Amino acid sequence: MSDLTDRLAQGLPPGAVLVDPDVTAAYRHDMAGFCTAGTPAVVVFPETVEQVQHVLRTATELRVPVVPQGARTGLSGAANAVDGCIVLSMVKLNRILELDPVNRIAVVEPGVVNAELSRAAAELGLSYPPDPSSWESCTIGGNIGTGAGGLCCVKYGVTSEYVLGLDVVLADGRLLSTGRRTAKGVAGYDLTRLLVGSEGTLGVVVRAVLALRPAPEPQLALAAEFPSADAAGAAVCAVMAAGLTPSLMELMDAVTVRAVNELGRMGLPESTQALLLVAFDGPDRVDRLARVAELCRAAGATEVVPADDQAESDLLLEARRLALPALDRLGTTMIDDVAVPRSRLAEMLNGVAVIAERYGLTIGVVSHAGDGNTHPIVIFDASDEEETARAQHSFDEIMGLGLELGGTITGEHGVGLLKRDWLARELGPVGLELQRQLKAVFDPLGILNPGKMV
């Protein structure tokens, strides 16, 4: 055993320290394509806060980098190992510690899977709204690390709006508690908000106080077919301008619809250029859907099909959740995540189509349309060097287009390694300098997730 593994093993349970390179190789990277991944020296699985502190203290003493990991479903390379690092897997800190219906909070460890928390909250008539499509596998720690969004954000907002307080182990092993368990609280700088989306670069989340909401009624959805992105974009704008707040408003292009049909035999209409799914979950959901149907027709929808019943509605939402895995089967994919003001959604979609044409590539687009958050997915043959280069150029142009339209290079997946070179373009020199100074305050030796984000 090396000094590092020996020292780590002294404060961890038997079997919690993996060093066999054949086994540790599985922990090298998350689900992002085209990001470098190093070779970890060791992968550890602490089960308590004290054990996490032991790992960080050891890392600081020996000056070894630490890469925190949840379920590794991330799409930016933020959880990728760096050479010689300790991969700190948080999946065994996975208890729901409290569900409190009076204060409407949950206290959880970071390895709890998103859908497990949702199901546990539902048993008490409560909900934890942030719902990434990966919710059956991704962890709350990873969701906090990335500031994850999801399908219901158009009505309920993203992860940062639900994180009230955190316990965080700092790089030197100290335990920091931020935030509150109260409904309100403004004491000091908002370190909780700073930590959400910090991609494991500032501290390791070991406990989170999360806001819960009363469980909404089940959603009822409709599907509307449009002949163009312009018409679909106009419908999205009309719905929002009418003061309606759907619980979901998602858009799939023709490439995505075909891919979903192939994977899930969903029977979605393949003649459409853009398929808009809209759902409401309130008591007046039927009336509101009827109003959306009118607005969609006025914007040029060729067909509007409300779900007949709950089962049909659930099927439409399931179809949307299949979009990424379905497109993944068409070739190697680079998944982009550019958000623009929703009023500019159609310009973004048309711009992506022009880029796809210019580079001779297939780019499927699935969007959280209500948030203006697009996921253009570049599909290519990774064994063809020239095509791969074209794919990378198109990916960059898509980010450039998003910034030109007043948007951001990442709506929810984060910067990680994938978009690190682009961060300066969005933040500007002063913004980037301050972000780097913040990193140095939390982690002066650069132990935590080095080379990611800033």
Ligand X SMILES: Cc1cc2nc3c(=O)[nH]c(=O)nc-3n(C[C@H](O)[C@H](O)[C@H](O)COP(=O)(O)OP(=O)(O)OC[C@H]3O[C@@H](n4cnc5c(N)ncnc54)[C@H](O)[C@@H]3O)c2cc1C
Using CB under 6 A, which of the segments 17-25, 120-128, 136-144, 224-232 binds ligand X?
Answer: 136-144
The single residue among 53, 58, 60, 139 that binds ligand X, judged by CB under 6 A, is 139
Q: Is 133 in the site for ligand X (CB under 6 A)?
A: yes
Give the span between the Cα atoms of 389 and 83, in whole angstroms: 26
The single residue among 65, 145, 246, 376 that binds ligand X, judged by CB under 6 A, is: 145
Q: How far is CA 24 from the centre of its chain?
A: 24
Q: Which of 436, 42, 355 is nearest to 446 (CA)?
A: 436
324 binds ligand X (CB under 6 A): yes
The mark string for 408-437 relative to ligand X (x by CB under 6 A, - otherwise) is ----xx------------------------
Give the count of beta carbons closer than 10 Å to the beta carbon of residue 318: 12
Applying CB under 6 A, does 129 fall inside the site for ligand X? Answer: no
Please choose, out of 72-80, 252-260, 292-300, 354-362, the segment that lies near ligand X by the rule CB under 6 A.
72-80
Residue range at the interface with ligand X (CB under 6 A); choices 19-27, 121-129, 146-154, 263-271: 146-154
Measured CA to CA, the distance from residue 364 to residue 133 in angstroms comes to 17
Q: Which of 75, 163, 289, 356 binds ligand X (CB under 6 A)?
A: 75
Q: With respect to ligand X, which residue has the nearer C-beta, 132 or 306? A: 132
Strand partners, 88: 44, 68
Give the nearer residue to ligand X in terms of CB position, either 88 or 296: 88
Cβ–Cβ < 8 Å for 174, 153: no
Radius of gyration over alpha carbons of the chain, in Å? Answer: 22
- Return the residues of window 225-254 that contact ligand X according to CB under 6 A: none
Residue closer to ligand X by CB (options 158, 239) is 158
CB of 443 to ligand X, least distance (A): 12
Distance, CA of 367 to CA of 133 (rounded, Å): 12
403 Rama class: left (phi>0) / alpha (psi -120 to 50) / beta: alpha
Taking CB under 6 A as the criterion, the residue among 18, 79, 249, 401 binding ligand X is: 79
Examine residue 59 and tell whether it contacts ligand X (CB under 6 A): no
Q: Dig out the tokens for 96 from the structure.
A: 């729901």
Between 74 and 233, CB nearer to ligand X:
74
- Indicate the residue type of 378: V
Q: Which is nearer to ligand X, 74 or 351 (CB)?
A: 74
Identify which of residues 29 and 344 has a Cβ nearer to ligand X in the complex.
29
Q: Angle, nearest 10°, between helix axes 3-10 and 49-62?
A: 150
Sole binder of ligand X in the list 141, 197, 351, 402 (CB under 6 A): 141
| Per-position x/- string for 30-49, each x denoting binding to ligand X as judged by CB under 6 A, each - no binding | xx------------------
Asked if 451 touches ligand X (CB under 6 A), the answer is no
Helix (H, G, I), strand (E, B) or coil at 72: coil
Residues 86-105 close enough to bind ligand X by CB under 6 A: 90
For residues 74 and 306, which CB has a smaller minimum distance to ligand X in the complex?
74
Are 229 and 347 spatial neighbours (Cβ–Cβ below 8 Å)? no
Instruction: Give the integer Cα–Cα distance in Å for 274 and 374.
Output: 13
CA distance 301 to 341: 22
Cβ-based neighbours of 218, under 8 Å, separated by 6 or more: 281, 310, 313
C-beta closer to ligand X: residue 17 or 90: 90
SS3 per residue for 132-182: CCCCCCCEHHHHHHHCCCCCCHHHHCCHHHHEEEEEEECCCCCEEEEECCC
**CA atoms of 419 and 337, how far apart (whole Å):** 10
Stretch that binds ligand X, among 95-103, 119-127, 198-206, 383-391 (CB under 6 A): 198-206
Binding-site member from 167, 199, 281, 443 for ligand X (CB under 6 A): 199
CB of residue 448 to ligand X, shortest distance in Å: 8
| 11 versus 74: smaller Cβ distance to ligand X | 74
Instruction: Say which amino acid occupies 293.
Output: A
**Smallest separation (angstroms) from ligand X to the CB of 452:** 6
Distance between CA atoms of residues 76 and 310, nearest Å: 35
Q: Say if residue 339 is exposed, middle or buried (CB neighbours under 10 Å; 0-12, 13-18, 19+).
A: buried
Residues at the site binding ligand X, with contacts judged by CB under 6 A? 30-31, 68-75, 78-79, 90, 110, 132-134, 138-139, 141-143, 145-146, 148-150, 199-200, 204-205, 324-325, 412-413, 449
